[in-house]
Amino acid sequence: MQVGRKVVEDLLAGTGVEIDGSRPWDIRVRDDRFYGRVLKDGSLGLGEAYMEGWWDCDQIDEFICRILRGKLQEKIRANIRTILFYIVARLCNLQSLSRAGIIARKHYDLGNELFFSFLDSRNQYSCGYFENTDDLEEAQEKKLELICRKLDLQPDDRLLDIGCGWGGLARYAAEQYGCSVTAVNISEEQIRHAREICKGLPVEVVATDYRRISGHYDKIVSVGMFEHVGRKNYREFMDVVSRSLNDDGVFLLHTIGGNLSRVNCDPWINRYIFPNGMLPSIAQIGKAAEGRFVVEDLHNMGPHYEKTLLCWYDRFQCARDRLPEKYDDVFKRMWEYYFLSCAGAFRARHIQVWQIAMTKTGAKQTPLLRA
C-alpha cells in the first residue's frame, strides 16, 4: 500500500492537500485500501470510500475544490466501468420516456422527511439567491421573486411550471402574482405534497412527463429539471416549450450546467444521487434552442449554489440524528459527501447554474430584468 500512497501523494502535489496533514482540507486515511480504490475507480472510488468510512476530512468542500482546480480527475485513467458508462450514455437515450421515472423513484421519492430536514419552508430544491442576505429562507424567497420578475408575471397570465418539485414556485406565483399555474411533475411524493399546499389556489398539478404536455401558456418556467432531460432530448424539450408558449410569451430556464459539452455526468453522482443525470453546456442549450428562441438574458448564479449547498449541509447535520432508521450511517455519509462535493465543484467553477430568459424567434423584446 505504500506504493499506492506515494502515487496519490504525487497526484496531490501542487493542490495544497496532504494525506494526514493538519489543515482542514487535508484528508485522513483510515483504511489503506483507499489508495488502490481511488487509483482504480477515480471519483467513483473516492465517493464510495468516504461512504464506507475509509477516509475523512474536516472541510470536504475545499478538498474537492482543490483537486478539481488541480485537474486530478484528468490525471487518473478511466476504468472499465467508467468507459462502459460513457459508451452507453453516448449510444443510448438514458432519459427516454420509458426510463424517465427512474430519477423520481431513486431520488425524489426517497421520502419527504429527508428533504424537508434540510430545505427551507417553501421546499426549494434549487439554489437560493443570496443577494444582501446569508439566510436560506430569505434567499429562496428572493429566488422565487427574481424568477417571477424575469417572467414579467401578470395576474391574467397562464404559467406552465415544468418539473414543479414540491410546488413552492407554483404556490408563490399564484399567491403573489394572481396568475393561474399548471405544474407538471412525475414524482409521486412531490405531486402529493404540491397538491396539498396549493389547495384553494388557481394551481393544477399534473402527473405527466414533459413530452406529453398540452395546451398554450403565456409564460413557461423550468427550475432544476433540465439536468434530467439528457442531450438526446434537449431539442425535443425545446420543441415542447416552443409549441406550448404563446408567440409573445417568455420562457425561463434555470439549470445547473457544465463548462464542457459531455454525454454523461460524474460516475459517483450518477450511481448514488441522480441516476441518468446530465449537465448541459451553454453550447448544448444554445444548439437546442436555435431556430426556436432568442436568448434575452443569461445570469450565472454559481456562487449562490455553493452557499445553498452549505446551508443544506448545516441543516442536514442538525437533523441527522432525528432522521428515521432507514437512513443509515452510510446513507448519511453519502448525503454529506453529495452536499460538500457539489459545493466544492461550484467553488472551483467546475460547474455553474444559469437562469436563461428566452422569447420566441420574431417576438417583440420584453423588458426582462437583468440581474
> Residue 367: which residues within 8 A CB-CB, separation 6 or more?
152
Helix (H, G, I), strand (E, B) or coil at 222: strand
DSSP 183-216: EEE--HHHHHHHHHHTTTSSEEEEE--GGG--S-
All three cell numbers of 332: 448519511
Q: For residue 269, count CB atoms less than 10 angstroms from its CB and return exposed for 0-12, middle for 13-18, buried for 19 or more.
A: buried
Residue of 209, 303, 302 lying closest to 256 (CA atoms): 302
> Residue 308: which residues within 8 A CB-CB, separation 6 or more?
126, 127, 128, 130, 136, 139
The CA-based dihedral angle spanning residues 147, 151, 153, 158, taken in that order and rounded to the nearest 10 degrees: -110
Catalytic residue among 127, 148, 164, 342: 342
What phi and psi, each to the nearest 5 degrees, are found at residue 221?
A: -135, 145
Q: Are 184 and 178 in contact (CB under 8 A)?
A: no
The CA-based dihedral angle spanning residues 185, 188, 191, 196, taken in that order and rounded to the nearest 10 degrees: 180
User: How far is residue 170's CA from residue 181's CA, in Å, rounded to a whole number?
Assistant: 6
Vertex 179 angle, CA 193 and 308, to 5°: 50
User: How far is residue 67's CA from residue 37's CA, in Å, rounded to a whole number?
Assistant: 17
* 342 a catalytic residue: yes
Q: How far apart are the first and last CA of the chain?
A: 52
Catalytic residues: 342
